[in-house]
Amino acid sequence: MQDRSGVMEKLASLGKRKGFIFRSSEIYGGLGSTWDYGPLGVELKRTVTERWWTDVVAKREDVVGMDAAILMNPKVWEASGHVDSFQDPLVECGQCRRRFRQDHVEGDVCPECGGPLSEPRMFNLMFKTFIGPLEDEGSVAYLRPETAQGIFVNFRNVQEASRQKIPFGIAQIGKAFRNEITVGNFTFRSREFEQMELEWFCHPDEAGQWFEYWLQARFDWYISLGVAREHLRLRPHEPDELAHYAKVCQDIEYEFPFGWSELEGIADRGTYDLDQHLELSGKDIRYLDPNTHERYVPVVIESSGGIDRTVLTLLADAYDEDEVEGEERMLLRFAPHIAPIKAAVFPLVKREEMPETARRIVEELRARAWNVLYDEGGSIGRRYRRMDEVGTPFCITVDGQTAEDQTVTVRDRDTLVQERVSIDSLAGHLSERLNP
Ligand code: ATP
């Protein structure tokens, strides 16, 4: 498909209609840039997190996981620099009162109404709350704006408990919160989102090579989800764009219909975070090399990706329109191993043994923990279209011939080819395609 303008609007409407993504608390008019995942959206999200955990943690001897609390001692955010530096320049239009991030607007007039913009004022992105009954300075706490600090403050705990030796990584998946000034582009910039972060601890002499290693590994990971290579690129940060903690950073970007935008950042954080925590906490959290007996602060190479942005990428990349037998078709071309519904089973008609046979097939396939649907409503063409719209790769139809020779048809969403497959070999047939 050539023209991708309008795709985000179509995805938002398809997302709601089919149960991928809803606006949060929609019946009350929603809440700015927070989102709820419906039955199909949560499947996609779980697939992303499970694949990340499998590839980054489970398959590797040198990475261990953890799960830190969202609320942390506020000293963490002082040490990390977030209290002082995690801020964006906010400008306000004197005419329509809309607010923007100064670095997101060109020139000094309002992009919406052309009114004059105010002088920028720095705005901290952390959500503030209070612990306990008193709302005073002493009880301030923040909702974490990144999961990484939970890893840094536990560096010593995890290293000693797991007996990992440098180089090794600590991985975490969890919610993060940012009071973003400008939001939009569907879920791309949300105020509550989920991160998947790997903090890789290495000797300072090896930082460069590990940075390159993780950059490549993480880029390839998006391709393994079925995202088109030509829609992905690496973009090094300009020096003035670097976060306060980073020495070098490259973004993995996806070409969304609204332009190239960040999916994940790979950064050399140097020894910044551990140095800061060492200083402010006064605890010696340095690493002791068991061979050389050298005590040092390791360098951190970070890979920080967003689950919501990955889900949005999968949706945007899969969205397509074509024509089948003179009729327009809207479809999601998810790779089979990513698709939220793996297959649907249809009785051609609601007669004879067809519904029973179809239900038996659904049960057998579900026993493999595949999300498989039964559908007997409407013409077979309509049932195919419904599944195309949610990206189901295979539709299985029980027809008149099934009773004679115990075969069904398996229709491929992309090629539209229908194969006859015996019921006995159906699970094996699908398994090959669902587990590349
Ligand atoms: P930006 O410059 O776009 O505000 P950032 O560079 O501050 O983003 P990072 O701090 O590098 O973002 O965050 C790491 C990852 O977390 C991002 O690559 C993205 O996938 C995810 N992320 C960050 N902010 C948001 C958000 N508001 N909504 C959804 N995902 C986010």
Burial 332-362 (b: 16+ CB within 10 A, else e): bbbbbbbbbbbbbbbbbeeeeebbebbeebb
The residue to mutate among 123, 143, 182, 189, having the most atoms of ligand 1 within 8 angstroms of its beta carbon, is 189
Residue 197 has a pLDDT of 98
Q: Is 190 in the pocket of ligand 1 (CB under 6 A)?
A: yes
**Euclidean distance between CA atoms 99 and 416, whole angstroms:** 48
Residue 331 has a pLDDT of 97
Q: Which two tokens stand for residue 360?
A: 């038996």
Residue 93 phi, psi dihedral angles, 5° rounding: -80, 130
Q: Check pLDDT > 70 for residue 96.
A: yes
Q: Check pLDDT > 90 for residue 106.
A: no
Instruction: Yes or no: say if 63 and 173 are a contact pair by the CB < 8 Å rule.
Output: no
Cα 384 to averaged position of ligand 1 atoms, centre (Å): 37
pLDDT (tens digit per residue) in 155-170: 999 999 999 999 999 9
* Nearest to 341, CA basis, from 48, 42, 52: 42
* Ligand 1 nearest-atom number relative to CA 306: 20
Residue 126 has a pLDDT of 95
Q: Is 218 in the pocket of ligand 1 (CB under 6 A)?
A: no
The DSSP bridge partners found for residue 259 are: 256
Q: Is 195 in the pocket of ligand 1 (CB under 6 A)?
A: yes
Q: Which two tokens stand for residue 146?
A: 């990144």
Cα 82 to averaged position of ligand 1 atoms, centre (Å): 14
pLDDT (tens digit per residue) in 368-410: 999 999 999 999 999 999 999 999 999 999 999 999 999 999 9
For atom 11 of ligand 1, the residue with the nearest CA is 265
Cα 167 to averaged position of ligand 1 atoms, centre (Å): 26
Q: Which two tokens stand for residue 348?
A: 């051609």
DSSP, res 165: -
Residue 70 has a pLDDT of 97
More confident residue, 73 or 99: 73
Residue 4 has a pLDDT of 80
Q: Is 178 in the pocket of ligand 1 (CB under 6 A)?
A: yes
Q: Check pLDDT > 60 for residue 2.
A: no
Residue 370 has a pLDDT of 96
| C-alpha distance from residue 136 to each of 125, 132, 210, 284 (Å) | 20, 10, 44, 31
pLDDT (tens digit per residue) in 307-329: 999 999 999 999 999 998 888 99
Q: Is 82 in the pocket of ligand 1 (CB under 6 A)?
A: no
Environment class of 119 (CB within 10 Å of its CB; exposed 0-12, middle 13-18, buried 19+): exposed
Single-letter code of the amino acid located at 76: V
CA dihedral 158, 164, 166, 167 (to 10 degrees): -100
Give the model's confidence band at 241: pLDDT under 50 very low, under 70 low, under 90 confident, else very high: confident
* CB-CB neighbours of 77 under 10 Å: 21
Single-letter code of the amino acid located at 429: H
Give the model's confidence band at 85: pLDDT under 50 very low, under 70 low, under 90 confident, else very high: confident
* Nearest to 11, CA basis, from 318, 408, 430: 318
DSSP, res 104: G
Cα 306 to averaged position of ligand 1 atoms, centre (Å): 7
Q: Check pLDDT > 60 for residue 135.
A: yes
For atom 24 of ligand 1, the residue with the nearest CA is 189
Instruction: Yes or no: say if 8 and 316 are a contact pair by the CB < 8 Å rule.
Output: yes
**Euclidean distance between CA atoms 187 and 176, whole angstroms:** 14
Q: Is 18 in the pocket of ligand 1 (CB under 6 A)?
A: no
Q: Check pLDDT > 60 for residue 345.
A: yes
* Ligand 1 nearest-atom number relative to CA 195: 16
Angle at 220 between CA 216 and CA 226, to 5 degrees: 165
* Ligand 1 nearest-atom number relative to CA 194: 30
Spatial strand order of the sheet with 248-256 comes to 63-65, 168-177, 192-202, 299-306, 259-270, 248-256, 232-236
Residue 242 has a pLDDT of 83
Residue 262 has a pLDDT of 97
Give the model's confidence band at 137: pLDDT under 50 very low, under 70 low, under 90 confident, else very high: confident
Which of 74-88, 233-247, 306-320 is the most confident on average? 306-320
Give the model's confidence band at 182: pLDDT under 50 very low, under 70 low, under 90 confident, else very high: confident
Q: Is 263 in the pocket of ligand 1 (CB under 6 A)?
A: yes
Q: Check pLDDT > 70 for residue 133.
A: yes
Environment class of 168 (CB within 10 Å of its CB; exposed 0-12, middle 13-18, buried 19+): buried
Residue 134 has a pLDDT of 87
Q: What is the pTM of this model?
A: 0.94
**Euclidean distance between CA atoms 108 and 111, whole angstroms:** 9
Cα 286 to averaged position of ligand 1 atoms, centre (Å): 29
Q: 140-145 long-range CB contacts below 8 Å, 24 or more apart?
A: 140/74, 141/71, 141/72, 141/74, 142/71, 142/72, 142/74, 142/77, 142/82, 143/70, 143/71, 143/176, 143/177, 144/70, 144/71, 144/72, 144/175, 144/176, 144/177, 145/82, 145/86, 145/176, 145/177, 145/178
